[in-house]
Amino acid sequence: MTSKSGKVFSLGHLIVPLILVTLSLQAKPGQAFLLGLLALLTLGWAVFLLFHSYYLNRSYPFERRKTYLAFMMIDFAWLTAVSCLPDWSASEIRPVWLVLFPVALYAFEGGMLHSLGMSLLGMISLYLFTEYQGLSFWSVEVFLTAVGMAALVGFIGWRTERLNRIAYYDGLTGLPNRLMMVEKLQAALSQRRPSSSAAVLLLDLDQFKYVNDTMGHDTGDDLLKSVAHRIGQVLPRSAMLARMGGDEFSVLMPSPKHSDEAASAAERILEALKKSFPLNGEEVYIGASVGIAVSPDDGKDAAALLKHAETALYRAKEQGRNNYQFYTPTVHTKGIKRLQMETMLRHALERNELVVYYQPRLDARTGKLVCVEALVRWKHPQLGMIPPDDFIPLAEDTGLITRIGETVLKQACRQRQLWNRQGVPPFRVSVNLSPRQFRQMDLPEVIHNILADTGLAPEYLELEITESAAMQDVNYAILMLKVLKEMGMTIAIDDFGTGYSSLSYLKRFPIDVIKVDQSFIRGIKDDSEDAAIVQAIIVLAHSLNLDVTAEGVETSEQLEFLKNQQCNEIQGYLIGKPMSAETLRDWIVLENTLSASGSGRPLFH
């Protein structure tokens, strides 16, 4: 089955009435009348095809199997009528060769299978011709015509199949590609019937890039083929699954009775992907985000429907992934804002609008500054300071987080080295590594180059990764952390307690610091369970010879509890908010002055 427009097929049928008119001009009166009548009938058939392919834009006869068979039988009918009704026995010209025209058209438009079917009907027509005309079926003329049909099937039909496969199918999964999806969707939408509609599901695999980067592209390809096979098994027979590119797939559901059919298909897809995929001896789990758009409410042409499905897909990602969302105008507005935000963020990187703020971390016992955490902020020239929660998730989705991470790392190292030259007392600067940045195989080389360019010694740099990022691939995390640790940097696990790490894995990680998530610190006073969890984490960390940092310390009661539990370091608004490099330097000078005069922070006395 192909996805051509049918225009060549329709125009080719105009040749037949022209040939019949030419033959009628050379025939006897009685035979000329029959040929003229057949010319009118075949002309009407050609006009019908032209109307469908040009005006209605239908790619008949190859969109539907029943229609294809019906059209083939009509071609067989007029071909047989031309062969049998007029008396050709006494004529010098016989229409044996006329069968080559429909075979050629079916070979060019439909490929080998369609042209082979037409060839079989052509042979039947030739047999009937020889029987009605009293001629021998085993003649040289019939033999040469059969050879011609075989050549058309083998050459044009095979070539059409090959070109269609290249143009309309994905080479990896064997699924229809974006081009075929768009043409099929447009064909479904162009059906000029009140009930004509279509639903499009766009789905993007969650965490596929992680599998591709850590397990290799060959494994990623195997995963895509397995996903395609599994999704295809749960879709209705009328639906078409296509690979749009990368890890994005689409599903076309022509003429759904209700939008619930699209929702049901999305639910079956998500349910099918919940099961693990065995790859290279390991079990890999992967989910998907699905966006749904239904015509005519969400768009009346293919471009609009696909665009709105993509907007709904972005909404599904924002909702936490592994879910499906229908397109709504509200979602469209958010999608436009997302695109605008992405454009502005790219400009921000080019125009150096990202700035780094620093939040101090103190020794819980002495109050001495031991580290500052580098936190990125976006200083927009018109919108002012944009908080990280408004652009970091977008940066993760678009891949810009890698460039942002390197920018922050460079600025933080450069600033720490500047403080060294200014005689500021020694302390570490801590930089967060995003999950995507941590999965980069060349991360140690990137950090080494930044340290070399800035002249900063590695002992002044601390790297933070979240617990969930470390647990995505434990073996990879252990190897990467070991390399970074051997470079002389301090390694910290951020947001500890929110993930799912086990004690055995924690023991294997070459880390120095555990940072307790602020959600537990916040509940120390009023929630006995949070207090017990914090106490257990501190005991656990000390048993593994790790330091503990408490994040989000905001009250003196929280600080007192942490000091009593022998927490090593504290960080939060009680100590100091994130501040610019200049403000932090003034803060350090003030703290040192107060400490020298004996009137330092009462919290640490």
pLDDT digits (tens, 9 = 90+) for 211-221: 777 778 888 89
For 192, phi and psi rounded to 5 degrees? -85, 65
Spell out the alpha helix ranges (H) of 136-258: 140-151, 158-168, 178-189, 208-215, 217-234
Spell out the alpha helix ranges (H) of 373-512: 392-398, 401-421, 435-438, 443-454, 467-472, 474-486, 503-508
CA distance readout (Å), 331 to 308, 309, 454: 9, 10, 44
pLDDT at 132 (0 to 100):
83
Q: Give helix then strand counts, H and E, for the chain.
A: 25, 16
Nearest to 526 by CA among 501, 494, 561, 502: 561
CA distance readout (Å), 369 to 359, 421, 424, 585: 11, 18, 11, 12
Indicate the residue type of 64: R
pLDDT digits (tens, 9 = 90+) for 252-301: 998 887 778 899 999 999 999 988 888 887 788 888 999 999 988 888 88
Residue showing tokens 């309309």: 168
Residue 139 pLDDT exceeds 50:
yes
pLDDT digits (tens, 9 = 90+) for 435-485: 889 988 889 999 999 999 999 999 999 999 988 888 877 888 899 999 999
For 243, phi and psi rounded to 5 degrees? -100, 120
**Interior CA angle at 363 toward 524 and 355, to 5°?**
90
pTM for the whole structure: 0.54
pLDDT at 360 (0 to 100):
95
Quickly state the pLDDT bin for 251 (edges 50, 70, 90). very high
State how far Cα 404 lies from the chain centre: 22
pLDDT at 239 (0 to 100):
92
Neighbours of 299 (CB within 10 A): 21
Residue 330 pLDDT exceeds 90:
no
Residue 602 pLDDT exceeds 70:
no
Tokens representing 480? 């990467």
Quickly state the pLDDT bin for 2 (edges 50, 70, 90). very low
Strands 569-571 and 354-363, bridge-based pairing:
antiparallel
> What is the rounded average pLDDT of the residues 413-433?
93
Tokens representing 462? 């601390």
pLDDT at 235 (0 to 100):
93
pLDDT at 53 (0 to 100):
77
CA distance 264 to 286: 20
Quickly state the pLDDT bin for 4 (edges 50, 70, 90). low
pLDDT at 35 (0 to 100):
85
pLDDT digits (tens, 9 = 90+) for 502-546: 566 678 889 999 999 888 898 887 778 888 989 999 998 999 999
Cβ neighbourhood burial of 281 (10 Å; 0-12, 13-18, 19+): exposed
Sheet containing 248-254: which strands, arranged edge to edge? 240-245, 248-254, 198-206, 287-294, 324-326
Tokens representing 488? 């002389």
Residue 164 pLDDT exceeds 60:
yes
Contacts of 93 (CB under 8 A, 6+ apart): 23, 26
pLDDT at 3 (0 to 100):
46
Angle between helix 556-564 and helix 528-543 axes, rounded to 10 deg:
40
Residue 332 pLDDT exceeds 60:
no
Residue 314 pLDDT exceeds 70:
yes
Neighbours of 293 (CB within 10 A): 27
Residue showing tokens 């290799």: 216
Contact between residue 375 and residue 388 where contact means Cβ atoms under 8 Å apart:
yes
Neighbours of 582 (CB within 10 A): 8
pLDDT at 202 (0 to 100):
94
Contacts of 75 (CB under 8 A, 6+ apart): 102, 118, 121
- One DSSP character per residue, 152-163 reads IIIIIIHHHHHH
CA distance readout (Å), 604 to 363, 365, 550, 599: 9, 6, 16, 11
Question: Across the chain, what does the average pLDDT equal?
Answer: 85
Peptide bond into 296 cis (omega under 30): yes
pLDDT at 1 (0 to 100):
41
CA distance 311 to 290: 10
Q: Which of 46-50, 126-130, 410-414 has the highest mean pLDDT?
A: 410-414
Residue 153 pLDDT exceeds 70:
yes
Residue showing tokens 């749009």: 244
Q: Is 206 or 339 the better-scoring residue by pLDDT?
A: 206
Tokens representing 292? 């749904």
Quickly state the pLDDT bin for 549 (edges 50, 70, 90). very high
Tokens representing 83? 């062969």
> What is the rounded average pLDDT of the residues 15-30?
84
Residue showing tokens 């963020």: 345
Residue 94 pLDDT exceeds 90:
no
Indicate the residue type of 354: L
pLDDT at 451 (0 to 100):
96
Residue 112 pLDDT exceeds 80:
yes
**Interior CA angle at 41 toward 39 and 44, to 5°?**
110
Q: Which of 197-201, 281-285, 489-493 has the highest mean pLDDT?
A: 489-493
The CA radius of gyration of the chain, in Å to the nearest whole number, is 36
Q: Which of 109-118, 178-187, 383-392, 487-496 has the highest mean pLDDT?
A: 487-496
pLDDT at 209 (0 to 100):
78
Cβ neighbourhood burial of 106 (10 Å; 0-12, 13-18, 19+): buried
Residue 48 pLDDT exceeds 50:
yes
Say which range, 149-163, 281-295, 490-504, 590-604, has the weakest mean pLDDT: 590-604
Paired with 372 in beta bridges are 360, 429
pLDDT at 244 (0 to 100):
93
